[in-house]
Structure 1
């Protein structure tokens, strides 16, 4: 699977989410606040969320391997 900013992805935890950012590694994503797992299963990417406040989140794709 190849993700791009603007892609939509079906996740078990949050249903359909839109990818707002892409990262090459987990550490950088965590430093930018993307810490909520979506339980998305893919060979190439994790999808994690970042809370923006009350019931608002954005989501990022994170490559599993550099």
Structure 2
């Protein structure tokens, strides 16, 4: 993102996978530090089993390149 001149403000959508859906509130608290109200990208969040390397959270973001 940095090489294209983009920032987190250019993120259009995120997909968040939680190993335990009960971690949703904690994930949301951290997520809101990076994406404050007023510039939240679209987001899909769901629970999944056996994330890579035993991770508890996996986040994939799609960003638009800066002009």
What's the TM-score, normalizing by structure 2?
0.25
Greater share of helix residues, 1 or 2?
2
Pick 1 or 2: higher relative contact order, CA cutoff 8 A, min separation 6.
2
Greater share of strand residues, 1 or 2?
1
What's the TM-score, normalizing by structure 1?
0.25
Greater Cα radius of gyration, structure 1 or 2 = 2
